[in-house]
Amino acid sequence: MKQEGNAIGLNNDEVDDVFAGVLMVWKGGNVTGYNSSGGWVRLPYKTLNGVEFREFAVSAFIHDWSNAADPSVSGTILPEILRDEIAEMMVTWL
């Protein structure tokens, strides 16, 4: 989120204020050869009438995954999947 906010001119304090309105819940899991994560995210969009929250479901599944050293890899993908939505939301806070 900091990357997207800074890219449009928000400073770190402003990005932190926006992030305070974000809710995220996800769960990951893995078995031999498979890794997955799924979750729900609520993003705050600034509108003329205040703040409007939009909700998103997101998931990632990796087949033939063999990196036992990092069982949470699919969880690191989830924010990337939402990059466009995060960028769209950040613009509303300018």
Length of the chain: 94
Supply the pTM of this predicted model: 0.82
Output the DSSP codes for 48-89: TTEEEEEEEEEEEEEEEE--TT-TTHHHHHHHHHTHHHHHHH
For residue 43, what are the contacts with CB-CB under 8 A and spacing of at least 6? 21, 22, 53, 54, 55, 56, 82, 85, 86, 89
Report pLDDT digits (tens) over 54-88: 999 999 888 877 765 565 666 678 888 999 999 99
Number of neighbours of residue 7 by Cβ within 10 angstroms: 10
